[in-house]
Amino acid sequence: MLTFEMQYEAMACNFGISKLFCAFNYNLKNIRFYYCDNYLTENDLTTLSKYCPNIENMCLEDIDRRGIAIRLITSLFKNLKGLELEFICSRFIKDAINDIIRRDETSGNHLLDWTNLNFLSVYFNQPKAVQERLLDETSKNTLRKPEQFLKRLNIDFYSRKVRQFIIQKDMSYAATFNNTFHVPYIF
């Protein structure tokens, strides 16, 4: 099995999720959990990284837990190439923003802290004004090629308006990632 998708909430409520992860093999390359809510924990990700260290693409939707962060995930999954996160609670936006922004020591400007991932997409609700200014400043101060850092405003995402930022090394990575998880299967 190369790709696994599941409704995390249902599995976490009915099974010992770490037992499921133990059943996976080292060949798993792509994983998508939706309805993570507050059921997905840092411990779960640590266990998953232990049994599936070769995951290359990960999609986590409906996250409602503070400890789930970009830096945590990239530190656990060394082979990760693509990551998509969708936060449903606005109180965690600050953590996601802090994971991708650094302050330049010389100029004091906020810049994008380029990730080693080929593709990173983060969906989040309307940020506070200070966070919005920080994202705007980062967007203006960061040197980049077209399509490498995108900030999309007020997009429709599962019947609600959200923000999205995308960081990619090349324009083709978004299509490759989206084909992994968001294209209907044909049997």
Could you read off the pLDDT of 136-183 as tens digits, one per residue? 888 888 776 666 877 787 888 777 788 888 888 877 888 888 888 866
pLDDT digit string, tens, across residues 98-120:
888 888 888 888 888 777 899 99
Write down the pLDDT at residue 108: 84
pLDDT of residue 180: 84
For the record, the structure tokens of 54 come out as 């070769």
C-alpha torsion 133→162→120→17, nearest 10? 130
Report the predicted TM-score, pTM, of the whole model to 2 decimal places: 0.87
Closest-CA residue to 30 (of 65, 56, 63, 68): 56
